[in-house]
């Protein structure tokens, strides 16, 4: 059984059952037909950004953090920009981003997922991303953020 399948089952279990320990999670995974080692589970939890928090009742439970997801998207956006960005310009309340041919959709996906409040949405072609924002100031802010990411190599 592959990693993606394990990750799916781990997340499904921690979202539906209050799990207080890795041993309890391993038992639940066995019920799902997954027999894995504690070290594999520990690595999977780390990759998924799962943390252990105190519940309202005083016990502990596992939760997936959104910070891990945002961090991953940020890393991916930086890679997309560093590897493929050729130009970006603000035009009114929009930003036109030029990329190496075939890479606009990956850049657009990262911009959609990163959660910047200035980004209303994106449209991607083969080598161009149109980023739509609400205001001229938002478009200029997006260009500044893109520049900051590139400068932080």
pLDDT digits (tens, 9 = 90+) for 118-132: 999 999 999 999 999
Are residues 79 and 34 located together in one domain of the fold?
A: no
Q: Which of 64, 81, 116 is the last residue before a domain boundary?
A: 64
pLDDT at 71 over 70: no
Q: Supply the mean pLDDT for the chain.
A: 89
pLDDT at 153: 58
pLDDT at 92 over 60: yes
- Across 37-56, b (16+ Cβ under 10 Å) vs e yields eeeebeebbeebbbeeeeee
pLDDT confidence tier of residue 23, bands split at 50, 70 and 90: very high
**Crossing angle of helices 38-48 and 22-31, rounded to 10°:** 100
Domain containing 21: what range?
A: 3-64
Beta bridge partners of 85: 99
pLDDT at 1: 61
**How many domains, the chain?**
2
Average pLDDT score over residue span 123-148 = 96
Higher pLDDT pick, 88 / 113? 88
Are residues 79 and 133 located together in one domain of the fold?
A: yes
Q: Which helix (H) or strand (E) holds 83?
A: helix 66-84
pTM attached to this predicted model: 0.57
């Amino acid at each position: 059984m592959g990693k993606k399948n394990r990750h799916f089952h781990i997340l499904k279990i921690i979202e539906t059952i209050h799990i207080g320990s890795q041993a309890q999670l391993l038992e639940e995974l066995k019920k799902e037909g997954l027999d894995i080692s504690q070290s594999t589970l520990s690595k999977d939890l780390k990759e998924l950004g799962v943390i252990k928090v105190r519940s309202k009742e005083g016990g502990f439970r596992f939760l997936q953090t959104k910070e891990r997801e945002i961090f991953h998207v940020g890393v991916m956006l930086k890679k997309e920009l560093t590897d493929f960005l050729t130009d970006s310009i603000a035009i009114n309340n929009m930003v036109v981003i030029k990329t190496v041919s075939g890479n606009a959709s990956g850049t657009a996906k990262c911009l959609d997922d990163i959660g910047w409040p200035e980004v209303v949405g994106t449209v991607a072609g083969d080598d161009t991303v149109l980023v739509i924002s609400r205001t001229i100031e938002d478009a200029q802010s997006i260009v500044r953020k893109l520049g900051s990411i590139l400068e932080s190599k």
